[in-house]
Amino acid sequence: MPESAKLNCGDVELDLPVIEGTENEKALDVSQLRRETGLITLDEGYVNTGSTRSAITFLNGEQGILRYRGYAIEDLAQNCDFVEVCYLLIYGDLPNGEQLAEFRSAIHSHTMLHEDMRMFYDGFPRDAHPMAILSSVVSAMSTFYQDALDPANPEHVEICIHRLIAKLPTIAAYSYKKSIGQPFIYPENDLTYCENFLRMMFAVPCEPYEIDPDFVTALNMLLIVHADHEQNCSTSTVRMVGSSNANLFASIAAGVCALWGPLHGGANEAVVNMLTQIMEDDGDVEKYVAMAKDKEHGFRLMGFGHRVYKNFDPRARIIKAACDRLLDKMNIDDPLFHIAQQLEEVALRDEYFVSRKLYPNVDFYSGVIYRAIGIPVPMFTVLFAMGRLPGWIAHWKEMHASKNKRICRPRQVYTGENIREFVELSDR
């Protein structure tokens, strides 16, 4: 591969340096393009645009590889707990025992919400979407911790990180409790991260609650496989908002909003809704496959295909195996799981899906596990957000530490009207 590519544009000949990453992926550096030629690049949806250099997550979509800080997702999902993976993503290395104990204890000391923050929940309608509550309450954290918001102050950033990781499960569980009219359950700091979340979700003050270790294992795995995915829509949003030096809470709240969309994190909810629709329609999988292939119909199979994975999504494989194990162990015969399996089988052998590389992605099976754990459908994307939080934080931090940091400010190709004569209201 040459060290640069030549671009001839009118009289100007420009050398565009080839930038190479540590896994040999290559990019053309176009940073001098506008200055030298007056041109910009146009890449709608950023399909070919590298927005940054990053040392956090490596992803090879052709080979189905996903690594956090160099560690294979399969190894992390099998051997780590989520808090360890948070540490890895945010600080760059797996923690030793002492570092991990210190990190856990920092998180444990921030799990409660300020009592006034609990009052917000009184103002939300009972049927509010929990992603709306999550982004609002995360954003409102900047009103409670005004003395520690400076992105340039490492101590402020550190405490914001602890507060976010500690409080997100509490904020999330309270949104569910609000929706069903049950009392909020305070966090219990002797429990692990996932145990604590399950207890806050499902315990009631009048009965003992036993935490199912299989649910804890499944939840831990799900959080880990969702923890980062390089420059996806919500992470890019967090970087974009953070690039203006907005505080960490504001940046993460924006990431939550970006994740909410059905084309991004909201897809897991959309998958279960689609499977339920098929089940209620006599489980006629073939009919829905035909509808998906019919351009006129506009029906889209949710949870299939991915912008960057071209062969398989390694996360989907991990989740599917865990899903098989969990349903088997619990002896659950979930009709949605059967429909999901049939849909997968049809799609994987049908030329239409094969040629378009539409295979199940991370969202396809995660909903089935969430259901088995008893997580209600509107909370699925909230769980995705809990998982993605360390990735967002790691990227926000990496961006601030970069010597190349500038406010993100893309250009555009204007396609509107040329200058027009102003017309008075009375003459229009």
- The set of catalytic residues is 306, 363
Least distance CB 199 / ligand MLT (angstroms):
27
Encoded one letter per residue, x for contact with ligand MLT by CB under 6 A and - for no contact, window 23-42 reads: --------------------
Distance of alpha carbon 165 from alpha carbon 154, whole angstroms: 17
DSSP lists the bridge partners of residue 60 as 65
Q: Give the residue with the Cβ less far from ligand MLT, 234 or 243.
A: 234
Locate 387 and state its tokens. 């998982």
Contact call for residue 258 and ligand MLT (CB under 6 A): no
Q: Does 229 bind ligand MLT (CB under 6 A)?
A: yes
Residues counted in the chain: 428
Structural Rg of the chain based on CA atoms: 23
The minimum distance between CB 380 and ligand MLT, in angstroms, equals 13
Helices within 109-192 (DSSP H only): 115-123, 130-144, 154-180
Q: Give the Å distances, CA to CA, from 423 to 339, 415, 420, 426.
A: 60, 21, 9, 8
Structural contact between residues 197 and 111, judged by C-beta atoms closer than 8 angstroms: no
Instruction: Show the site string, 84-123: x = touches ligand MLT by CB under 6 A, - = not.
Output: ----------------------------------------
Number of residues that bind ligand MLT (CB under 6 A): 6
Cβ proximity to ligand MLT: between 54 and 232 the closer is 232
Minimum CB distance to ligand MLT smaller for 287 or for 307: 307
Q: Shortest Cβ distance from residue 281 to ligand MLT (Å)? A: 28
Residue 54 in the binding site for ligand MLT (CB under 6 A): no
Q: Which is nearer to ligand MLT, 139 or 232 (CB)?
A: 232
Contacts of residue 66, defined as CB under 8 A and 6 or more positions apart, other chains included, come to 57, 58, 59, 72, 73, 229, 314, 315
Asked if residue 139 binds ligand MLT (CB under 6 A), the reply is no
Decide if 90 contacts 394 (C-beta within 8 A). Answer: yes
Q: Can you tell me which of 54, 139, 196, 232 binds ligand MLT, judged by CB under 6 A?
A: 232
DSSP 26: E
Residue 362 interacts with ligand MLT (CB under 6 A): yes or no: yes
In the DSSP assignment, the letter for residue 31 is T
**Per-residue x/- track, 295-324, ligand MLT (CB under 6 A):** -----------xx-----------------
* Look-up of token digits 């102050």: 153
Q: Which residues bind ligand MLT (CB under 6 A)?
A: 229, 232, 264, 306-307, 362
